Chains A and B, each alone.
Chain A
Amino acid sequence: MPETEGPDPRTDDTASLVALLNATWFGANLLPETQVRLAGLARRYQAAAGTTLLTEGQLANEIGIVLSGRVSLRTLVPEEGWITILTVEPGDIFGQSALVPPYRSTSNVVALQQVDVLALDGPGLRAALAADHDLAAQMYPRVLQAMARRLSATRLQMLDLLAR
């Protein structure tokens, strides 16, 4: 769990958290009640460049939405070291492993710049999604969209098109 430098989440009122959500690609245009539910599960934190936000193989307890700054997803390649396979830019998410068993991060997540993150509590969100199908119907397509975008990008990267 990264060291939190921002204000205590309990002091962020719901309205300002909803406003932050609305300013992101991931959170914009969700139904107002969905945004309020998510705000209730959210905390905001800042982390300095170089901070490891999640570690590959460790429990992912939060889904992070990047509000500002840049986050890298890295994986260890033998003889090459830590390779950045993707950067997560403002508006996009990381730590979605918190929604998918076994809830462990599939990469190291490292802040490349000072980052401002809105983090959704993983266990809390899972419980809410299981209990509230309207929330799930709003939330899952957005998660799926983020994953599909990442998948198609990864395929193109695998093709190594720019090697030619």
Chain B
Amino acid sequence: MTTVTRSAIGFLPRADFQRLIDLLSEDDRTVIGPTVADGAIVYGEVRAVSDLPRGIGAEQAPGSYRLVDRGNDLLFAYTVGPTSWKRFVFPPTLAVSRSHRDEDGHVSFGPVPKEIPKLAFLGVRACELAALGVEDRVFLGGPYTDEDYRARRTRSLVVAVQCAEPAGTCFCTSMGTGPGVRSGHDLLLIELDDGFVVTAGSPVGSAILDQLDLEEASADQITAGSDQLAAARQRIGDPVVAAGLHDRLMAKLDSPRWADVAERCLACTNCTASCPTCFCTSVSQRSDLDGQTSVTERRWESCFTKGFSTVALGGNFRPRVQDRYRQWLTHKFATWIDQFGTSGCVGCGRCITWCPVGIDVREELNVIAPPPQVVLGNGKGSEAHSPRTSVFRVDAARRETQDTVTLTLSTPSGIDWSKLHGEFVMVSVPAVGSVPISISRRLPTGMELTIRGVGPASTILTGLGHGAEVGLSAPLGRGWPVDMAEDHDVLIVGGGMGLPPLRPVVDEIIEHRAKFGEVRIYHGARTPGDLLYAEELARWAARGDLEVGVTVDRADATWLGRVGVVTHLFDHARWDGTKAIAFVCGPERMIQATVTTLALHGVTSDRIFVSMERHMECGVGLCGHCQMGPYFVCKDGPVFSLAQLGDVFGREGI
């Protein structure tokens, strides 16, 4: 008998397979593998060989899945089922943090203690290994990272099994992820009629292989494995031409096929729930009855739900199913590449099998974005860190309008908050939730936030008084590039609640006034009673070196100021925009009207910066809600140049 070394290839007879399960179970490790449950192959705990689906296969087609008894002893003769490994490294629900308010009103925020299990994943296919790789890029690629994911991932051992049974819905060959396992595994099994060819892919795997003390696999056995793989590859073919798919797809945002597929799509979310890479989440608060202790829970969410892209007061950026289908497909196959440097699809076919009406993504892609081919884009990465919640105290609350309040907040952290970059903070109200709020003034000890009470959390915030405590994240997102405006004329246009995010820009310009050319500030409000910072606007105007224009949409007869849209403040003006940089914030439709007028004055799209509003939950690009074309608004924005947004800006349902 030949004892194998680390670099060698062993053969494990099927009769000895329990030995592998036992070895994997050492060190309190739980083995998760394929089991038969609810008429499907699902991943569950495996203690013995008898838990595995011996001789069971799965026939799959668009909208169809049936288990079949193949009448053999193969343990892994199935194709992937509805569950994926995602749920074990990225649980469907997870308590992410807790908050507590004591009887004196002091609040505290902290993590939820939890035990991360040690797991061994048994039976991971090549496409699923690729999916884990995709998730690694999403959650660990930065700039923000999911430390819970990291802990679960690093405590998991991966035993891959070469795919010999592709289903009719598979297209891993097209996505370049299979059927052959290449990397990312600790052990790799190739199942033959009488046992398994075993190789190691990591030091941990090598150690297990050593412990198995196997006979070396024969050349015939190794060849049989290769033949299996070749046969699988041939059966799958190459149903989607992936090369150039990114550009082809993004060129078809106006395809009539989106409306066509929306006629069939039920927006049931099955595709996203079964997808091994979809990572969107929502958070909710679970509170005890007296509101003193609450837990923030994260749960899987789908971009197919109507509520996914709603913002305050019910505005919805993707109201139609065709908008949501386009969002999903273009993200998965195109903008994912812009964001993470890899496609979001691994070709496992789950979304095809589990679609109740049998929509076949391969067919949709080939209709919407048929070849020819062009080159894919690049990804990006940077230093990884996670945002923390700090307790801030309300030093002052100043009522701006009937429903809007400016809070002055500070924290004794020793950090000069005015030096921190970032456009907004996530404000946490214990027992209620978190809301993104733009910073309306930067202060060394904290900041001012101007908040309109529109939802539960923001309404509570507008009612806070001196001494109240809330949780704030560090400043997030990319803000206004004020330094770019030096030596230029500056235009600042704020509609309604669009003015508060621009106030720090005005502060900075005033602090370094000589560095800027002519500065014009235009503010539009709904009514005179909705005007923000009225006294401050008057002070700015009185300086003499800032032009300030104010208008309202409607007014009663006592108002002697201007009435009309904000663009009327400057559309007939005679200044030259070719030397100007513009910062615009407000409702998207108002921004559209404004940038059209700015363009007529010669302000080019690379010098027009706009702040986009989208549904934000996590604030760090990990929950998926705020996606806008290739961007996550919270992480890549919310401030973008118009040139950067390209034809995504103003597009319906994006």
Q: Is the CB of B495 within 8 A of A161?
A: yes
List of A residues within 8 angstroms of B315 by Cβ: 164
Q: Is the CB of A153 within 8 A of B567?
A: yes
Q: Is the CB of B572 within 8 A of A25?
A: yes
Give Cα A86 to B562, complex, Å.
7
Q: Is the CB of B587 within 8 A of A87?
A: no
Give Cα A74 to B556, complex, Å.
9
List of A residues within 8 angstroms of B564 by Cβ: 86-87, 153, 157
A96 at the interface (CB under 8 A from B): no
Partner of A87, one of B497, B525, B530, B562: B562
A15 at the interface (CB under 8 A from B): no
Give Cα A149 to B571, complex, Å.
10
What does DSSP make chain A's interface, helix, strand, loop or mixed?
A: mixed
Give Cα A9 to B557, complex, Å.
31
Give Cα A47 to B557, complex, Å.
18
List of B residues within 8 angstroms of A152 by Cβ: 593
Q: Is the CB of A85 within 8 A of B563?
A: yes
List of B residues within 8 angstroms of A82 by Cβ: 556-557
List of A residues within 8 angstroms of B562 by Cβ: 70, 87, 89
List of A residues within 8 angstroms of B567 by Cβ: 153
Q: Is the CB of B312 within 8 A of A157?
A: no
Q: Is the CB of B495 within 8 A of A84?
A: no
Q: Is the CB of A81 within 8 A of B557?
A: yes
The residue in chain B whose Cβ has the minimal distance to the Cβ of A24 is B572
A132 at the interface (CB under 8 A from B): no
Q: Is the CB of B560 within 8 A of A113?
A: yes
Give Cα A85 to B555, complex, Å.
7
Task: Knowing A161-B586, A162-B495, A162-B530, say if A84 contacts B556 (CB, 8 Å).
Answer: yes
A80 at the interface (CB under 8 A from B): yes
**In angstroms, how far is the closest chain B Cβ from the Cβ of A37?**
23
List of A residues within 8 angstroms of B565 by Cβ: 153, 156-157
The residue in chain A whose Cβ has the minimal distance to the Cβ of B496 is A162
Residues from 101 to 159 in A contacting B, C-beta threshold 8 Å: 110, 112-113, 149, 152-153, 156-157, 159
List of B residues within 8 angstroms of A157 by Cβ: 553-554, 564-565
The residue in chain A whose Cβ has the minimal distance to the Cβ of B313 is A164
B589 at the interface (CB under 8 A from A): yes
Give Cα A113 to B562, complex, Å.
11
Give Cα A82 to B557, complex, Å.
6
B524 at the interface (CB under 8 A from A): yes
Partner of A83, one of B496, B551, B555, B593: B555
| Contact digits for B78-110, partner A, Cβ 8 Å, 1 yes 0 no | 000000000000000000000000000000000
Partner of B553, one of A25, A74, A110, A162: A162
| Contact digits for B552-596, partner A, Cβ 8 Å, 1 yes 0 no | 011111011111110110011000000000000011011001000
Partner of A72, one of B524, B530, B563, B572: B563
A56 at the interface (CB under 8 A from B): no
Give Cα A92 to B312, complex, Å.
37
Residues of B that sit less than 8 Å from A by CB: 312-313, 315, 454, 495-497, 524-526, 530, 551, 553-557, 559-565, 567-568, 571-572, 586-587, 589-590, 593
Identify 4 new A-B residue pairs, CB closer than 8 A, beyond the known A70-B560, A84-B557, A162-B496: A85-B554, A157-B553, A164-B312, A164-B496
